[in-house]
Structure 1
Amino acid sequence: MTKLTPPQAPATWTHTPEQVTTLINELIAKDRALWDKVGSLRPEECTFESLAISRADAEMETETEPLIFYQNVSTSKELRDASNAAEVLLREYGIEMSMRVDVYQAKVNAEKNIKASGRKLNPEEERLVEKLVLDGKRAGLDLPEEERKELEKLKKELSQTCVEFSKNFNEENGRVSFTLEELKGVPEDVISGYPKREEDKKTLYDVTFKTPDIFPLFKFAENPETRRKAYEGYDDRLAVNAPLLDRILDLRRRIAKLLRYPTWADYVTEVKMVKDAANVHTFLDDLQKKLHPVGLKDRETLLKLKEKEHAEKGYSFDGAFYLWDYRYYDQKFIQSSLDLDEKLVKEYLPVSVIVPQIIQIYQHLLSIKFVEIKGDAWHSEVQQYSVWKKDAKTPEDFLGYCYLDLFPRTAKYSHAAVWGLIPGYLKPDETRHYPTVAMVANLAKPTPDRPALMTHDDAVTFFHEFGHAVHGLLSRTQFSKFHGTSVARDFVEAPSQMLENWGWEPKVLKKISSHYETQQPLPDDLIEKLIKSRYVNAGLFYLRQLFFATYDIKVHTDKDSTDYTQLWNELREDVSLVKGPKKPLPGQGSFAHITGGYDAGYYGYMYSLVFAADMYATVFKKDPLDPALGDKYRKSILVPGGSREELDSLKEFLGRPPNAEAFMKELFGDSKASSANL
């Protein structure tokens, strides 16, 4: 590829807290003036062009998203606080704008005038008009003025409470401490990364609740008391959020009632593929019936393993299988039945090799090119890329910018996620505005003994999250409203879930692996064991996911409040078949999805798995590294984003309507099994 200059400069990341505050206020004032202009139009002046002023939304998002992103990644508390405050202002402004009856009426008038004039819109323009009017109805703009004012007040309170919930989540900095003896079984390279301190003549190792620190205890700590203490601390780490969630659920019930929806879940699902809450219940109930006997069998298998080990090591055995037993005995079973040593697998997966190799796979499959660039980001560890078509010859072959922020640090977002920081869209002059995406992860850092190594789970997660990144980079829509991952929430995970399969393909595993000492790839026997482990104890794994989905839909369909901590613990034991602590702990305080856009939507992870399995089995299984198939995927799934019905994109890609056969075959080995409500 010849060296080309991107037609659009990258975002700047040098804001001070004061600048964030000033800018957000200036942007809100500018945007409000624009919508005041739309709201003042006479009925006959309302046209598609006045609606298309919604491009202002794209411009607003382009300027504001980086400002409110700082709260997830900045090392400066002052900047994080300013970013949080900016998000509160922006959310409140968004609520205010969503309640503008004059603007809504302008949209309704424009729709009428377009139809009356006989003007032909293209499909994406038609979809924009339809969605903008529906948005107004869903915002309650058909309601009497008094009810609208009450609705606006409730929405603002809901927004503020959700921001506080998220802030507590990001800034959680708890830890639990153990002696070296209590950490028996945990890999040495993990222990060497824990800070040490002396207390009461004992050396204690401090373990944070960040994934790379705490999860090895769940999987490897031999002492059940160590695992119990670690898990209870983890489950209780965000107790401060429990009363906030109580308030959030109460506000959502009141808002749904004002909007004339039976429940909040019915309101949320109206614009999703599933369409209503009843269909969610049907889907989850059907899946639970299929998974329950499989989960019981898995639990019995692991319980026997626990009984045997407790007898050998002298631990008391009460016949129960606890939350803190699951990950430990799951990996024990895999190790004993398949002779699969996860710690050995990890030695073949150094971060310095895997990250560029996964990027290379995406480049090959989708005919694109990542070019690392230098420049200031929000932290010195962040990698920056300009992204181009594979054989780019002109600036028009530019696709966008990508940031990778891969390692943990204090007050940083603690899981793995992708932010579509800046959308792609067509500007009024018909030139393109290019997207910017950021992938944030928390991979293990190097230790004194070894380089940074990934678990296989980390590698699969990287395939998944990077799938979201390329969705944002390769989408080409006319309007930002439909760009990239702006699809129905119960479809948004499907493309990335499909791409997880690459982390289980033998030739891909060979390609991305390189032992940190010998540089040899994963041997064939280890790859075979790894692949066999994929659906071992799948019943318990998916029942755990089903518990989250069931809790989420229940709290959003129940008409009355309850003790949500009690419900969390009882429902977890009932659905996921594992016992929790004696004293119920407020684990729901760490259920970030429920306030982060997946409210009444967690079912979507499994719902979209059905589509993911179908796409992979039908198209990619025959050759997952074939660029011709990657091109088909890019054109049918990635490029359209949300600019058309997701079902239409699936039909084009599959050559038929989707079905659940591949998903059920993966889980149960039954190609004739089907799942309800697709």
Structure 2
Amino acid sequence: MNNRKLMSVYRPLVCLLRQATAARVCRTVTTWSPVAAAFNARVHRRLDLFHHNVGLFGVPELSSVGGFEVVQDRALQETQQLVQKACHCPPGVQTVEIFDKLSDSLCRVADMLKNEKHLFEIELTCDIINGSTVNQLNASLRVVELFMFDFEISGIHLDKKKRKEAVNLNVKLLDLSNQFLMSCHMPNRIEKRALPEHIHQHFTKDGNYIQIGGLNADAPDDLVREVAYKVFLYPNENVMHILEELLSCRDKLARLVGYESYAHRALKGTMNVRNRQFCKLTNNLRIKPGLNLPLGVIRAERFNIEPSLYSPYFSLGACMEGLNGLFTQLYGVSLLAEQPSVGEVWSEDVRKLAVVHETEGLLGYIYCDFFYRPDKPHQDCHFTIRGGRQLEDGQYQLPIVVLMLNLPHPTQSAPTLLSPGMMENLFHEMGHAMHSMLGRTRYQHVTGTRCVTDFAEVPSILMEYFATDYRVISQFARHYQTGQPLPQSMVARLCESKKVCGAADTQLQVFYAIMDQVYHGKPQNRSTTDIMIDMQKKYYGLPYVTNTAWQLRFSHLVGYGAKYYSYLMSRAVASMVWKQCFYKDPLNRFCLFFYRRKMLNERLCALRMLQKRPSIEDFVNALVSDLDPDFETFIMDSEG
């Protein structure tokens, strides 16, 4: 079914949603919009005795466990055929398209089978790339560069013996990465009798034990936070060994393929960042005036935000309605809640959203796995199931993504209520999802969050600015029982609380980035904990807590290995874009149209959006400017 036919199906729903959005200011709690109602309602078990099982994500083969092998075998056959086709294809854009199709075939299986450890070693014995021909299209050239880079860092240029060694190291790294990721989110246990009884209610009970699966950072009780910190971060020797093996394997692989360290290998694939530039960025932030803890503490005392006072205004449905209204005004995009077919989702709690543009039609699907389950990783994340790409017949392969959160379930008396931090994180993750939906690139190898790492977090961090802007919050924050809007003074305090301890938060990110670089630099004859203690003393203002090992919970060491600095880079770029384009009017649709065309669809698009190539000083100044303490007048006016 093409997009024109799809629009004929979705247009009536979009019109109804438009009417609901326009009327949201005068509605009561009994008239939630369809998308809000879908997320505020409790899920009831459905008996589907007469419906056909369509398979996970609508893939028929995935209606049973055995179907995974069928999908894998089919992908392997297809990739072998594509390799042969590439070897006999004349140099040109068609070769790039074949490689992208090959990448798509592998990714569609790998993204669904994260636990499968298959590495395809492709030996190319023919000259398949001719720069003078491919140069005709910049997009094609970029994809060629990425493919060649991926091949080189995987050891394709080595002799047969060393290439086999590189493959073995990559297989081992996949195993170690999976083990570490699983370990990062496993809860720790402590006997009930070791803790004061009045704090038991804040944790999960397990017989005579208490399970602690996070830091409980939003808990108002400082004892709860202290216990969670010390228990959750308590060292585990087995996980320590896994991490050190992971870092050692990465170093061996980097040296095998010709790099000084894994950090040097990782930085080669970024936006022209070099080790010395990274050092300059972090050191400039470290010594910048104003980045000190006492100011943050003073702000915290005056602008303290009690989550329990705000959460009734941030029901999950209200927040999703706010996102839907924001996307409608900015992009002309609506979120339509759909009933999943039998077998399409892996849990009854998963909601399915169709993302529909007012003129372009259906853009893709978002599966929202938002609620806590015991067997679920305690990590909020976004991942791609199928990337978007241009097909040979002129149609566009619709992207499919999953958003995974760990929110509390709704109760009989109330929907899921979010703290301000949860609300902001929801906006952040939806920023990733919309990047995948709106960034309709020609090639799936560079679609959505598969862009250059330095840019991957910009769309999601930009959404955080919308989430903490009073003009945006005022549009959707409503009490789940009375429908009353969040009082203006509370809106003002919430928006400005973004700057509470902002300097400390920025310095923490600097510490994370430096820690990541040191771990992936030249090997050191000391434990990861000893290294962490030393770096924390040099680059972070708070002292190390004895018998804790923060690094064993830092899952980003796997996904961002040696590139966590990109979070600071992305935050700086998002800050520049916000101030240049949206600070005066966050609902400026023209700027968002330009943002989508220039930033979400093109490489190094930030340069076009900002109309300059930012220097290290520009990045530092952008980050520091977000900590501007001169906001007293706004607060006083709101209280008046």
TM-score interval, smaller chain:
0.7 to 0.9
Ranges in structure 2 where 5+ consecutive residues have no aligned partner: 1-6, 14-54, 631-640
Q: Does 1:123 align with 2:138?
A: yes
Query: Is contact 1:515–1:521 with CA below 8 Å preserved after alignment?
Result: yes
- 1:175–1:437 Cα change, 3 Å: same
User: Quick one: which of 98, 115, 119 aligns to 1:53?
Assistant: 98
Structure 2: how far apart are the matches of 1:509 and 1:180? 42
Q: Alpha-carbon deviation of 1:492?
A: 0.8
SS class of match (2:595): helix
Which residue does 1:280 correspond to in 2? Answer: 278
Which residue does 1:639 correspond to in 2? Answer: 601
SS class of match (2:142): helix
Q: Alpha-carbon deviation of 1:469?
A: 0.4
User: Quick one: which of 646, 653, 657 aligns to 2:609?
Assistant: 653
Query: Is contact 2:310–2:420 with CA below 8 Å preserved after alignment?
Result: yes
Which residue does 2:40 correspond to in 1? Answer: none
Which residue does 1:111 correspond to in 2? Answer: 129
- 1:416–1:237 Cα change, 3 Å: farther
SS class of match (2:335): strand
SS class of match (2:591): helix
Structure 2: how far apart are the matches of 1:181 and 1:523? 38
Which residue does 1:349 correspond to in 2? Answer: 314
Which residue does 2:171 correspond to in 1? Answer: 156
Q: Alpha-carbon deviation of 1:518?
A: 2.4
Ranges in structure 1 where 5+ consecutive residues have no aligned partner: 69-82, 303-332, 671-678
Within a 5 Å distance, the mapping from 1:129-168 to structure 2 comes to 129-168=144-183
SS class of match (1:418): strand
Which residue does 1:612 correspond to in 2? Answer: 574
Q: Alpha-carbon deviation of 1:295?
A: 2.8
Which residue does 2:73 correspond to in 1? Answer: 25
SS class of match (2:403): strand
Structure 1: how far apart are the matches of 2:492 and 2:9? 42
Quote the sequence identity (%): 21
Structure 2: how far apart are the matches of 1:406 and 1:177? 30
User: Quick one: which of 2, 12, 26 aligns to 2:59?
Assistant: 12
Which residue does 2:252 correspond to in 1? Answer: 254
Structure 2: how far apart are the matches of 1:167 and 1:340? 33
Structure 1: how far apart are the matches of 2:407 and 2:349? 12
Which residue does 1:674 correspond to in 2? Answer: none
Q: Alpha-carbon deviation of 1:372?
A: 1.7
Which residue does 1:545 correspond to in 2? Answer: 509
Letter in 1 for 2:233: D
Q: Does 1:480 align with 2:439?
A: no
Query: Is contact 2:10–2:356 with CA below 8 Å preserved after alignment?
Result: no
Q: Does 1:586 align with 2:583?
A: no
Structure 2: how far apart are the matches of 1:604 and 1:412? 27
Structure 2: how far apart are the matches of 1:459 and 1:24? 38
Structure 1: how far apart are the matches of 2:460 and 2:240? 31
Which residue does 2:403 correspond to in 1? Answer: 439
SS class of match (2:279): helix
SS class of match (1:385): strand
SS class of match (1:157): helix
Query: Is contact 1:509–1:527 with CA below 8 Å preserved after alignment?
Result: yes
Deviations 1:598-619 (A, max 9, x none): 0001111112111010000000
Q: Alpha-carbon deviation of 1:192?
A: 6.1
- 1:179–1:166 Cα change, 3 Å: same
SS class of match (1:562): coil
SS class of match (2:66): helix
Letter in 1 for 2:624: M
Within a 5 Å distance, the mapping from 1:283-322 to structure 2 comes to 283-290=281-288, 294-298=291-295, 301=297
Q: Alpha-carbon deviation of 1:574?
A: 3.6
SS class of match (1:478): coil
SS class of match (2:454): coil
SS class of match (1:215): coil
Which residue does 1:316 correspond to in 2? Answer: none
Segments of 4+ in structure 1 off by > 6 A?
none
Structure 1: how far apart are the matches of 2:524 and 2:111? 38
Structure 2: how far apart are the matches of 1:664 and 1:454? 29
Q: Alpha-carbon deviation of 1:51?
A: 4.0
Query: Is contact 1:274–1:280 with CA below 8 Å preserved after alignment?
Result: no
Structure 1: how far apart are the matches of 2:184 and 2:72? 23
- 1:66–1:149 Cα change, 3 Å: closer
Which residue does 1:389 correspond to in 2? Answer: 357
Alpha carbon RMSD of aligned pairs, Å?
3.0
SS class of match (1:534): helix
Structure 1: how far apart are the matches of 2:587 and 2:380? 25
Query: Is contact 1:183–1:221 with CA below 8 Å preserved after alignment?
Result: no
More displaced, 463-472 or 119-128? 119-128
Query: Is contact 2:79–2:105 with CA below 8 Å preserved after alignment?
Result: yes
User: Quick one: which of 600, 613, 623 aligns to 1:663?
Assistant: 623
Which residue does 1:267 correspond to in 2? Answer: 265
SS class of match (1:279): helix
User: Quick one: which of 502, 518, 524 aligns to 1:554?
Assistant: 518
